[in-house]
Structure 1
């Protein structure tokens, strides 16, 4: 909603409630457990004082409270508030002199952190009249926060059984734009015959130290309240004392809160803290909203950065037991840990076994701990391909490789028995670059391995835990339950250990800033380039249009982790970014693989960022032809046909049972093959022209890095296919900088489902032949039989699976 519309609605609401028909009940008495005006501090009473503010709350909290006058032992009151993003429920039970009343209220709010409206219904059961309460009432509220400094709200209370109405207008100001200090004011509007002289109140709330909040409030009737709240992460305690002008201390209120993470006072005064990162399993880009404990790349790197910036943290403990993270993400995480070390903080890594890539990550540590019975497997890198031509020949399936560009080798394993020299050349260069990166990083962190690293790789391969210590690959032997003790010795003081995600600012409550901050959108294009699978371009284009059209989204980050595939799918997304996001910075960050159609996705970005071990490039097209070369005789299958058109039979043939794939009955004629060649060259020329346009280069310059050749990210940086080294974390910072924003939130596309029902129910996964990487590759090429495809060499195609 635009600001003029918000102002109009706010004024309209104010005018609507500005003409009461009777006198009202006392808002201050009803909300006396609240310490401030609605919305002035944290989430106040979670909608009980104004339901509109529920739209600014996104956690799950339970508040339990009690209240009693200091001079009336016959009076007691207790209750609770349960709140979530879907609404809040309030219950209060009051007793005095044998009389009892139970107050119930349910409130809902819709909107955003900048503007919201809400409604609620409350009912009092029991001796309501004795306590001066209405039996039931409705309330309607609205709030508007035009920025981080000001909060305005209005509330109307409408009792069902009388015409006594009450209208509350509230304002709060944060002069520093954050939670440190807030001044607030309330005014109750009723007609002049109201028996309640207490029409206004004003006060101040301060949070001089994270998690420690103090409140002072002064009322028109000269009463005052003084309150204190202590935040302890997922737990808070609070208390408030009422001071009467006539009798001094009048009442006490106290309570506890459980639920969402908030600022923790203990962290400020603790002697030291350490984050604990358990990186078991793989690393995803996105996870389900509920019941999914997976690690994601963005959350992990942002959390490490938060630990780096938090002066209370002495460092981080990283447990790599059973870790299976791809080599590009390993580099990104390693970079963040290296940054953390530059701040003088310590990194402790635990391994119970590890591969070459995992040791690359572990080597960043100040101290590496190995399980006593583990070993390291450090053979370097190898790229092996299985060639299927002999098998296809025996099955009577002919496979032609339509290869017109030197390095475009995605059909080699299907149509040849050995690799081409060009393919071996590019694969060897990739492995050389990957190895050089690992060696360089390891030696940078563990300089004493400079002379022995190659020898260990070439002669040892498998290194026992004891040998790892003697060779300087690790520092000590222990189990994971000793890690805290070891870290304490590293920093010379006992530390309090918390999980990495609870150390992360994004996991904390979002009350630090009023209003809705600017957004940086991350759009994930993951998997093969296809319309309805992989990147699901048919759906993803809607996310691109939505993100580009949002006024609060100031920049877009496109994360590409794709081996390529269908040109149409790639072009859908690339052209949509070019068309709809032309007025916003678009930063492309390439993951493990961004080749061919994956590079097509990237080419219109204002800046392309890649890790040194990203696989990029592969500008070219490839295709081939599967046909029946005796398969029908071998299997006993036969076909019959009628046709109209000289070449109508070209794509007709056997339909393979179960797979629903057609195997054409014949190969192409020489004339048809010449037409195919012309078509492929035309497609290649178009691809180069598009890349040249996106990269602001000439077609001749692109030809020098084309011909289907793949490059490492480090070589791509040298030849101009990549602009900057880095990962997802760096892309977000660059996007924010180009957009000129310093405070922002990240929104991710595509939106993920709530949960994985099969996983939640524990349903077994039935193995499928079609889930095999090899079968998927063959089926994909059969699907595009005879068509140009934009795909990197097939051994890299499955590297993004599961991310």
Structure 2
């Protein structure tokens, strides 16, 4: 393995040298380029594509459109004021000089569906690069700036994302419309998430064979007490905060009363936000939308009659209509291939020929101010990650992130920090250490937190260190509480014929033993430790949010909130997505809304050369896990998904149970919450 790594490194260096000798500099390659002075206008309308294009040719604007634009009215979700900032890293640096695009007018076809990571990234030798929300928002940014693009067609299928991510993408669609782009949604799936996103578009097209499953909202929570009993295991869980119900997934067969109350409030708010999005997007009353939901699933014809869609047509018919009008139709993959990140399926040879400069270095060569974007995604764990490329890791390893924050603080070219949090929490110690470091960083540079689908418990702990917190309306957050405990495996060992003998000395020597529950003294000791952690959490939250400890205590107790509810109780400052966080950062560093910034993503994406260098100092097992993923775990969860369909809750349960095994006091969300 080491010999192979050396050979790859040598080949990589040769290719990099040849590229450096032959490639023109960025300045020479882009010199003299600019954008056309003309600008095509688009009409915001819920009519057909034909009407939209006709309005585009004449430049007409309806009274309702002018009123919406003047008042900043959003369609479907809450939308903040649109600004034009550059896109992330290399893409932003490249926008220092604009690329000229000319006629014909372009229609860009974008496919949205499946799972979207918060951030893609990472070098992969085999298999596709993970598609991410970051990729989608970057694409929307390029489309907004391109005056040759007249229309964006979104083919929307089932999105395996949270409601907050749907809202974030919908805000991006609103920004496209504010940039005078016509937007058309083609419903390729009958899911609710697809339809809610489609309501942000000017027009919704539905194939005749499709259906619309508009049914309402729900939360599904899984309980594992019965499973543990079958193998002779028993969970001992202690929680501080009456709503801190994480451990109930292991100790109960159903919701306790406080947990049910809390979860019902989440379901109710999700339902109201869904109704509001549809009502605004389709220009209906909330009562009408609720009646349509209660009427059950609809055929395409029924959806058209109820004004939930604008026309029934196949995708090919729509594309042919554009072409007959002389418009050029391109896919998102083909759009801007000379500038977009490559890598849906990249071979090793292609990787070797694309070593180049890392995106962070390219960004630093820009003339615009730099803003760091720290992606804090996944469970919060102590120590360091064993991943070769942290940009592709789904955990927040405290030691690694402390180094990242140190690097950002020392880099004088970085003027501010956006902390993008999508985490259910994890280690109490790791959360507190990161909290303190972010607070210290905030004394040197402004820090704004932007919340994704979930930023709860430990996720909220690190987010509250920022000077300002911005959450999507359906972000799941709060959960200020503490949970701890262990799994008693004595019965499991007995079933398996395993006998364990322990020799100990010390009153609490067996407090964390997996063969036995807590004694009264041990339970009292655990509760004391956990109460101290909870009190510190509450006190720090009160200080950060400018509240008294008593006031914060009343809204804590482990209760989970949506972003809207958290805003009402002052746990977050403002509702909005990532672009709103960028606007706020511009304000804090003294820029106007129209000024450009370069966003530098952390953890940094490594080049192949970086990965090979790190691999030389890493054992083969870690290299395989970092570059290729864990094949055994992947296969196991794949089989489980086919068998039960509950992969995500099981993944969360296993991950967080692992945290408790290493650290008996944790800050984690209750249950595995899936909002549909």
- How far is 1:691 from its partner? 1.2
Q: 1:751 aligns with which of 593, 596, 604?
A: 604
Deviations 1:159-182 (A, max 9, x none): xxxxxxxxxxxxxxxxxxx966xx
In 2, are the aligned partners of 1:520 and 1:736 still within 8 Å (CA)? no
For structure 1, the residue ranges without an aligned partner over 5 or more in a row are: 1-82, 90-105, 115-150, 152-177, 181-205, 212-259, 653-662
How far apart in 2 are the matches of 1:522 and 1:720?
Answer: 24
**Secondary structure at the residue paired with 2:212?**
strand
1:710 pairs with 2:560: yes
Question: What does 1:414-433 align with in structure 2 at a 5 Å threshold?
Answer: 414-433=250-269
- TM-score computed with the length of structure 2 as normaliser: 0.73
How far apart in 1 are the matches of 2:16 and 2:367?
Answer: 16
In structure 1, what is the equivalent of residue 548 of structure 2? 698
In structure 2, what is the equivalent of residue 472 of structure 1? 307
How far apart in 2 are the matches of 1:769 and 1:445?
Answer: 38
In structure 2, what is the equivalent of residue 400 of structure 1? 236
In structure 1, what is the equivalent of residue 207 of structure 2? 371
Greater RCO structure (CA 8 Å; 6+ sep): 2
- How far is 1:595 from its partner? 0.3
Q: 2:144 aligns with which of 308, 312, 322?
A: 308
Q: 2:134 aligns with which of 298, 317, 326?
A: 298
In 2, are the aligned partners of 1:620 and 1:684 still within 8 Å (CA)? yes
In structure 2, what is the equivalent of residue 641 of structure 1? 502
Count residues with an aligned counterpart: 546
**Secondary structure at the residue paired with 1:525?**
strand
- How far is 1:506 from its partner? 7.2
In structure 2, what is the equivalent of residue 526 of structure 1? 377
- How far is 1:454 from its partner? 1.6
How far apart in 2 are the matches of 1:485 and 1:562?
Answer: 44
Question: What does 1:436-455 align with in structure 2 at a 5 Å threshold?
Answer: 436-448=272-284, 450-455=286-291
Structure with greater helix share of residues: 2
Question: What does 1:88-127 align with in structure 2 at a 5 Å threshold?
Answer: 88=19, 106=21
1:791 pairs with 2:668: yes
In 2, are the aligned partners of 1:617 and 1:710 still within 8 Å (CA)? yes
In 2, are the aligned partners of 1:113 and 1:516 still within 8 Å (CA)? no
In structure 1, what is the equivalent of residue 492 of structure 2? 631
How has the CA–CA distance of structure 1 residues 633 and 322 changed in structure 2, closer, same or farther, with 3 Å as cutoff? closer
In 2, are the aligned partners of 1:113 and 1:515 still within 8 Å (CA)? no
How far apart in 2 are the matches of 1:764 and 1:668?
Answer: 37
**Secondary structure at the residue paired with 1:452?**
helix
- How far is 1:427 from its partner? 0.8
Question: What does 1:57-136 align with in structure 2 at a 5 Å threshold?
Answer: 87-88=18-19, 106=21
1:567 pairs with 2:428: yes
- How far is 1:312 from its partner? 3.3
Question: What does 1:147-546 align with in structure 2 at a 5 Å threshold?
Answer: 209=36, 265=100, 267-268=101-102, 270=103, 272-284=105-117, 285-288=119-122, 292=128, 294-321=130-157, 323-448=159-284, 450-460=286-296, 462-486=297-321, 494-500=326-332, 502=335, 507=340, 516-531=367-382, 532=384, 534-546=395-407
Q: 1:669 aligns with which of 510, 513, 519?
A: 519
How has the CA–CA distance of structure 1 residues 763 and 680 changed in structure 2, closer, same or farther, with 3 Å as cutoff? closer
Aligned-pair Cα RMSD in Å: 3.7
- How far is 1:699 from its partner? 1.3
- How far is 1:324 from its partner? 3.3
In 1, are the aligned partners of 2:158 and 2:193 still within 8 Å (CA)? no
How far apart in 1 are the matches of 2:155 and 2:128?
Answer: 19
How far apart in 1 are the matches of 2:579 and 2:339?
Answer: 14
For structure 2, the residue ranges without an aligned partner over 5 or more in a row are: 1-13, 39-93, 342-358, 386-394, 612-623, 641-646
- How far is 1:383 from its partner? 1.6
**Secondary structure at the residue paired with 1:275?**
strand
How has the CA–CA distance of structure 1 residues 564 and 107 changed in structure 2, closer, same or farther, with 3 Å as cutoff? same
How far apart in 2 are the matches of 1:487 and 1:380?
Answer: 35
How far apart in 2 are the matches of 1:511 and 1:616?
Answer: 35
Q: 1:730 aligns with which of 576, 580, 594?
A: 580
In 2, are the aligned partners of 1:593 and 1:615 still within 8 Å (CA)? yes
In structure 2, what is the equivalent of residue 555 of structure 1? 416
Deviations 1:513-546 (A, max 9, x none): 9854321111101001112461122212211211
Deviations 1:345-385 (A, max 9, x none): 32101112132222110111221111222222222121232
- How far is 1:729 from its partner? 1.8
Deviations 1:216-257 (A, max 9, x none): xxxxxxxxxxxxxxxxxxxxxxxxxxxxxxxxxxxxxxxxxx
Deviations 1:561-619 (A, max 9, x none): 00001012222322222223422111100100000000011011011000000001000
- TM-score computed with the length of structure 1 as normaliser: 0.62
In 1, are the aligned partners of 2:245 and 2:670 still within 8 Å (CA)? yes
**Secondary structure at the residue paired with 2:274?**
helix
In structure 1, what is the equivalent of residue 470 of structure 2? 609
In 2, are the aligned partners of 1:289 and 1:753 still within 8 Å (CA)? yes
**Secondary structure at the residue paired with 1:419?**
coil
How has the CA–CA distance of structure 1 residues 761 and 567 changed in structure 2, closer, same or farther, with 3 Å as cutoff? closer
How far apart in 1 are the matches of 2:547 and 2:231?
Answer: 47
How far apart in 2 are the matches of 1:210 and 1:423?
Answer: 58
Structure having the higher Rg:
1
- Worse-superposed segment, 557-566 or 424-433: 424-433
